[in-house]
Amino acid sequence: MAAKKHHVPHVKVEVPPALDAAEAARQAYANDKALTRHHFVEGEHPIVRIEHLNKTFDGETQVLKDVNLDVWPGEVVVVLGPSGSGKSTMLRCINLLETPTAGHILIEDKEITGTSKTDVNKLRQNLGMVFQSFNLFPHLTAKGNVMIGQTKVLKKSKEEAEKEALKQLAAVGLEDRADFKPAQLSGGQQQRVAIARAVAMHPDVLLFDEPTSALDPELVRGVLDVMRDLAENSGMTMIVVTHEMGFAREVADRVVFMEGGVVVEQGLPEEVFDHPQNERTAEFLGSIK
Ligand SMILES: Nc1ncnc2c1ncn2[C@@H]1O[C@H](COP(=O)(O)OP(=O)(O)OP(=O)(O)O)[C@@H](O)[C@H]1O
Ligand SMILES: [Mg+2]
Backbone angles phi, psi at 277, to 5 degrees: -85, -25
Q: What is the CA radius of gyration of the chain?
A: 19
Number of H helices, E strands in the chain: 10, 10
Nearest ligand 1 atom, CA 91: 18
Instruction: Tell which phi-psi region holds residue 39, choosing left (phi > 0), alpha (psi between -120 and 50) or beta.
Output: beta
Q: DSSP 3-state assignment of 279? A: helix
Q: Which residue has a Cα nearest atom 28 of ligand 1? A: 84
**Residues lining ligand 1, judged by CB closer than 6 Å?**
57, 61, 63, 81, 83-89
Cα 136 from Cα 156, distance rounded (Å): 20
Residues bordering ligand 2, an ion, CB closer than 5 Å? 88
Flag residues of the chain having pLDDT under 50. 1-3
Per residue in 3-14, pLDDT (tens digit) is 455 555 566 788
How high is the pLDDT of residue 288? Answer: 79
Nearest ligand 1 atom, CA 132: 27
How high is the pLDDT of residue 114? Answer: 73
For residue 230, the surrounding DSSP H or E stretch is: helix 217-233
How high is the pLDDT of residue 1? Answer: 46
How high is the pLDDT of residue 61? Answer: 87
For residue 263, the surrounding DSSP H or E stretch is: strand 262-267
pTM of the model: 0.94
